[in-house]
Structure 1
């Protein structure tokens, strides 16, 4: 009984802890050109980022320039700083030093809400809310039914919905429990297709799904985001071999950057070593 009481009071303690969390401050301009970002160029200049002032930097002196419409694969070991790049781009954590530019505009000069509305993201754990399919695809009533069905068609979900006699008013349970993980990921992809933003970030989006659905998602991304800048934080190295550029992260730094085939052909490159290690691992 003492153990039970202790565990329940720890829950109460945590609830009190959540009450004192600082609310994210809204800074920056909330008015920019509607067409921004028009090209999707991303530039990091001498970026240093800490999650807290008393912690060591998770990103150290990051410099790179991603050109419009480039497909970039970001690879590295656990803790290398891959997801921290996305956190800096979305301003989930403000950088300590340096500049992050999107189409030559400093993102700190733009409000967080506006900035995030201009970027599309598909995370590792797909996010669906309790409500209708229509609400999950278009929570702000910005698109027509025809556009939503077209997005579902693009991710190969329309046929299944029609076969089950389901409409856009289909009820989705909390966290999308009435869909498989792969189907939830496809619905999140349909949401990104609807928004038609110039920048898409995939944060290990295919890490928890089977290889056939992974291939389906990669094909859909190639077809629908051909004129967009796509950043893929990779879980499987083979998913980024088709990219224009590979960005190798290590200990919060950019270790190397280049075309995948160029890096693979160099036996001393970190990327080629990672490829060799992956091919040897199953036999070990």
Structure 2
């Protein structure tokens, strides 16, 4: 928790003012029983109405001052806690944005969402409670103890028996609840993961008639979370009855021994009433501390999870001594590149070497899992190579600023990602463009026709994930977004698969003209898509099985020949 205090520093003035107001509130509450004792022992006993009125008005003013202090303290502490939570969420979001894909794989999307939202809320609630209750409880507790001893030191000996009981209850609950609260947060992660998978994959679930199975899977995770939550609540249900029992026995003991002392004439009735008030304040303070200790384990578990994210150092970092060329021309060279995913036993790419020049198209083809997409991910530094090097214009990409590197690349992913917003906003996502430039990019991607048929044209709203578009329409918008950047390097990751052959041919012809001075890498499954490439790289089991043009590879590379014959007859490609 201490590591998170730096996010509270910008609000230190609010915190200091809140603590001062809480101090004033505590002083007013501690002074009230003393005034009440004076009214009883002096005013009522002597039947002095004027004295009673003067002390009564003083009690009202003290109570009013304490109330105003409490309201202001509550406002300032809430403002500090909410600002703290906002800044913490913002920094988590920024930090997660710097993660490489390896860190995303480590935590998982569902867990990162839970940590950013749910866990930060738990910490924020604990901050509010800490400023309001935890800060007030020691003041009230210590002050009440001092005042109780001041009123009657001998009667205060009762507290030496009862206070340790309360402390023991708190300690027992704290020790038992910490592991349960940590388990709850992990089970919330699991529930969020299943829920997210169901919402994203609803079409597949229904297509395979697995709705009942998914319901059972969700119910199992939900029941697991519920049972753990019930365990915690069952444990906490003992808290109030146990503390109330201790408090009530304390009051009974005070009344018993206090009555004896009044009978002996060593204690006045008003002082006994004040003493009981101070003891109630003390017990209430201990109960507040107890409630804080009950909530603390969950906040502590959440803080540990948040700190784990914030202290995770991204594998992909900005270079310490970057080399920043005036312009990236686009020559890409792989030199003996080997790559292994984190946690994987075997490399997915082994000793890959090739060169791609500006003005040329390099196609990458191979079976599923051969490592085609991984090559593109390495060029963009989503991961770093395990060994070997990747050069752009003769410079190792690990020495290039990430912004400079990625600004030079137009990327179309295999799995299309569109954002909620308008068609124009999605095309302009990579670069601030004029409307005519947006329209030109859409024309190149053969998307202008279906966009013009949409109700709002380029101002038509795209739903989350592009659910209101077909697969081919989404691919064409994704291509338009990449082409609109006018980059020196283009990476197309099997992004023509949802297009019919006629549209595919039109798109590739338009792209070829648009990117004639750029370096183009195309990952594809279709032979028709790669046949016209300047060089084709054939991958098998992470190694290069052959490099060359279509006709050459068909004669010399067995793997390529098998791929071609599985899709085309000999008459079609000759």
What is the TM-score of this pair, normalised by structure 1? 0.85
Is 1:138 the counterpart of 2:428? The answer is yes
Alignment check: 8 A CA contact 2:430 2:481 kept: no
Say if 1:49 and 1:176 are closer, same or farther in 2 by CA, change over 3 A: same
Q: What whole-Å deviation, never above 9, does each CA across 1:136-188 have from its counterpart, x for those lacking one? A: 11236621112112222223333443454634332111111222211111111
2:562 corresponds in structure 1 to 273
1:43 CA drift (Å): 0.5
Alignment partner, residue 8 of structure 1: 222
Q: Residue 35 in 1 paired to residue 324 in 2?
A: no
Q: Could you tell me how far 1:212 is from its partner in structure 2?
A: 3.0
Residues 431 and 485, structure 2, Cα contact 8 Å, conserved in 1:
no
**RCO greater where, 1 or 2, for CA within 8 Å and sep 6 or more?**
1
Structure 1 unmatched runs, 5+: none
Q: Map Cα deviations across residues 21-52 of structure 1 (whole Å, 9 max, x no partner).
A: 6563432267734521x2x2110111111111
Distance 2:467 2:562 in 1: 39
**Which runs of structure 1 show a deviation greater than 4 angstroms over 4 or more consecutive aligned residues?**
1-4, 9-12, 18-23
Q: Is the 8 A contact 1:182 1:213 kept in 2?
A: no
SS of the residue corresponding to residue 120 of structure 1 reads: strand
Contact 2:338 2:386 in 1 (8 A): yes
SS at match of 1:139: helix
**Which residue does the alignment assign to 1:185?**
475
Deviates more, 1:246-255 or 1:142-151: 142-151
Number of aligned positions between the proteins: 273
Deviates further, 72-81 or 214-223: 214-223
The partner residue of 1:109 within 399, 417, 423 is: 399
Greater fraction of residues in strand: 1
Return closer, same or farther for 1:10/1:263 CA change in 2, 3 Å cut-off: farther
Aligned counterpart in structure 1 of residue 526 of structure 2, from 230, 236, 256: 236
Q: 1:157 aligns with which of 437, 447, 451?
A: 447
CA RMSD of aligned residues (A): 2.8
Deviations 1:106-148 (A, max 9, x none): 1001233432222111122221100122221123662111211
**Structure index of larger Rg:** 2
For 1:191-270, what aligned pairs fall within 5 Å after superposition? 191-266=481-556, 269-270=558-559
User: Are 1:51 and 2:346 counterparts?
Assistant: no
Show CA shifts across 1:254-280 (max 9, x none): 1111111112234x5432232123347
Q: Which has the higher helix share?
A: 2
- Once residues 140 and 245 of structure 1 are traced to their aligned partners in structure 2, the CA distance between those partners, rounded to angstroms, is 28
- Most deviating of 162-171 and 249-258: 162-171
Using structure 2 for the length normalisation, give the TM-score.
Answer: 0.44
Q: Which runs of 5+ in 2 are unaligned?
A: 1-214, 227-301, 570-574
